[in-house]
């Protein structure tokens, strides 16, 4: 199977060489250029101020204990988050986040519905997932997808540009993040904090205020379907695992 | 022809403890054998066969209701510095009955983010000192190891993690 860089440290250094702020700025620039190109090349009829609203992203409890949905409006989106969100379901076991993410992608790329239970059973039988030992090792992320005939690449030192490029190509992406950091970015500053969770990145969006957001299918939280976080927070959470990225493609060319 | 004495070029940069942790997290044993849902945890240092050995008790950590919950360690792994070769690895879930479904200790999140982070940074600085000693002399004194171990247990105590890491 296609595998990691020989030198993990080299790959990590490579990603750090294009520092996180620069990566975010690069994507912002790409999206601005893309938006400009769209306006220049296509004769547009009268267009609304903002693009189609993308929802839902966050759930906020009201004082009464009910739930309201906060909607984030994006002017530019890379990826196809609305469609990818349809595959989301919460992980069924404490340690099955990587299996859940593989389930999402298997359904998205093969148009076949899978149950997480059946994927857990298969992964367990192959030794790729062990709930009694705490889940899935990094290197086994993607094995289930190779079994269904998809092309899988695993690497450290991934960049936001690579995620954007993969999503533009119609590929799917799993990233190893620290889940506490996604909720509390300062947590990544504690020495020794490393990635402990797998999420599917389904989109990168720019708000009209110019903020870059990363859109996830996070199997580990109730509101994980299309969960949105600041790009800076995502980069911190992803950086705890050396920017480990699993890229999956169907092998078909996008025309 | 006279044989030339081998001398390695002088290293410009001694690895820090934080950089070492990144390297160790990228070793084949961590990537391939240890579940991603676990953290390596706080590094423990020992001298074995006059070599500097760093060991860990990989375990799960979960933030819940303002607390950081720590689960029992599922593995034991030890590396020898500077090659980072594995000295010892064990999946404890096969060796003895380990219930990893419930946490064994917890720390207030604000403590982790404040005093905990400060204490861990100080401990990592001490580990970096050990690495510097090693790079300079190709050895580490018993006194330096003892000092680090004392700091290790003090840090564990400050964070209330004795049930996970043990006591001095």
Residue A97 has pLDDT above 60, yes or no: yes
Q: What share of chain B is helix, strand, coil (3-state, %, to 5)?
A: 40, 25, 35
Q: Is B127 on the interface with A (CB under 8 A)?
A: no
d(CA B26, CA A163): 21
Helices (H), chain A: 8-17, 20-41, 81-85, 97-110, 116-126, 143-147, 160-168, 179-183, 231-239
d(CA A202, CA A164): 10
Asked if this assembly's ipTM is beyond 0.85, the reply is: yes
Which of B15, B16, B17, B35 is best to mutate for the A interface (most A CBs within 10 A)? Answer: B35
Question: For residues A202 and A214, is the Cβ–Cβ distance under 8 A?
Answer: no
Question: For residues A241 and A178, is the Cβ–Cβ distance under 8 A?
Answer: yes
Q: Which residues of B touch A97 (CB under 8 A)?
A: 37
Give residue A130's pLDDT band: very low, low, confident or very high (50, 70, 90). Answer: very high
The DSSP code sequence of B51-113 is: EEEEEE--B-EEEETTEEEEPPP-EEEEEEETTTEEEEEEEHHHHS---TTS-SEEEEHHHII
Q: Is B72 on the interface with A (CB under 8 A)?
A: no
Q: For B26-63, write each residue's pLDDT tens digit.
A: 899 999 999 999 999 999 999 999 999 999 999 999 99
Residue A67 has pLDDT above 80, yes or no: no
Q: Is A71 on the interface with B (CB under 8 A)?
A: no
Q: Identify which of A95, A137, A191 has the shortest CB distance to residue B34.
A: A137
Which structure tokens are listed for A8?
A: 């993990």
Question: For chain B, first and last CA: distance in Å?
Answer: 56
What is the pLDDT, as a whole number, of residue B8? 76
What is the pLDDT, as a whole number, of residue B142? 96
Q: Is B165 on the interface with A (CB under 8 A)?
A: no
Q: Which residues of A touch B27 (CB under 8 A)?
A: 8
- Summarize the confidence of residues A186-194 as an average pLDDT: 95
Q: For A5-37, write each residue's pLDDT tens digit.
A: 344 455 555 555 568 888 888 888 878 777 777
Interface contact flag, A133 B17, Cβ < 8 Å: no
Interface contact flag, B75 A133, Cβ < 8 Å: yes
A to B CB pairs, distance under 8 Å:
111
What is the pLDDT, as a whole number, of residue B84? 93
The whole-chain average pLDDT of chain B stands at 92
Cα–Cα distance list, A14 to A21, B28, B119 (Å)? 14, 19, 30
Which of B24, B25, B37, B44 is best to mutate for the A interface (most A CBs within 10 A)? Answer: B37
Q: Is the dihedral of CA A136, A138, A140, A141 positive or negative?
A: positive
B93 to chain A nearest CA, in Å? 6
- Which residues 6+ apart lie within 8 Å of A35 measured at CB? A75, A76
d(CA A192, CA B162): 18
Give residue A65's pLDDT band: very low, low, confident or very high (50, 70, 90). Answer: very low
Q: Identify which of B39, B100, B101 has the shortest CB distance to residue A194.
A: B39
The H or E element spanning position A173 is strand A172-177
Q: What is the pTM of this model?
A: 0.85
Q: How many Å separate Cα B16 from the centre of its chain?
A: 13
Q: For A161-171, write each residue's pLDDT tens digit.
A: 999 999 999 99
């Amino acid at each position: 199977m296609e595998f990691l860089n020989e030198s993990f440290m080299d790959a990590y250094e490579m990603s750090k060489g294009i520092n996180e702020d620069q990566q975010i700025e690069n994507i912002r620039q790409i999206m601005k250029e893309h938006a400009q190109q769209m306006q220049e090349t296509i004769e547009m009829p009268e267009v609304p101020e903002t693009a189609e609203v993308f929802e839902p992203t966050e759930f906020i409890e009201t004082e009464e204990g009910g739930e309201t949905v906060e909607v984030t409006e994006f002017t530019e989106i890379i990826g196809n988050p609305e469609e990818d969100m349809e595959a989301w379901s919460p992980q069924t076991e404490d340690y099955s986040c990587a299996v859940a993410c593989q389930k999402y992608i298997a359904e998205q790329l093969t148009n076949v519905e899978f149950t997480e239970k059946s994927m857990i059973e298969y992964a367990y039988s192959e030794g790729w997932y062990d709930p009694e030992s705490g889940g899935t090792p990094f290197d086994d992320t993607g094995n289930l997808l190779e079994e269904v005939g998809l092309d899988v690449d695993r690497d450290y030192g991934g960049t936001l540009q690579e995620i954007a490029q993969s999503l533009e190509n119609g590929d799917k992406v799993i990233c190893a993040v620290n889940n506490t950091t996604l909720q509390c970015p300062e947590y990544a500053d504690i020495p020794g904090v490393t990635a402990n969770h797998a999420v599917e990145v389904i989109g990168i969006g720019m708000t009209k205020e110019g903020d870059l957001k990363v859109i996830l299918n996070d199997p580990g939280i109730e509101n994980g379907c299309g969960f949105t976080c600041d790009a800076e927070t995502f980069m911190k959470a992803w950086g705890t695992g050396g920017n480990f990225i699993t890229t999956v493609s169907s092998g078909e060319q996008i025309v | 022809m006279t044989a030339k004495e081998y001398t390695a070029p002088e290293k410009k940069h001694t690895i820090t403890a934080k950089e070492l942790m990144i390297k160790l997290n990228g070793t084949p044993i961590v990537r391939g054998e240890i579940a991603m849902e676990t953290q390596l945890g706080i590094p423990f240092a020992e001298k074995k066969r006059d070599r500097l050995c760093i060991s860990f008790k990989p375990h799960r950590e979960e933030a819940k209701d303002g607390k950081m919950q720590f689960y029992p360690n599922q593995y034991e792994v030890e590396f020898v510095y500077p090659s980072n070769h594995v000295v010892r690895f064990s999946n404890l879930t096969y060796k003895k009955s380990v219930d990893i479904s419930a946490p064994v200790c917890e720390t207030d999140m604000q403590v982790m983010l404040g005093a905990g982070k400060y204490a861990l940074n100080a401990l990592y600085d001490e580990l970096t000192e050990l690495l510097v000693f090693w790079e300079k002399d190709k050895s580490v004194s018993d006194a330096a190891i003892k000092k680090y171990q004392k700091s290790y247990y003090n840090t564990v105590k400050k964070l209330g993690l004795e049930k996970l890491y043990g006591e001095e």
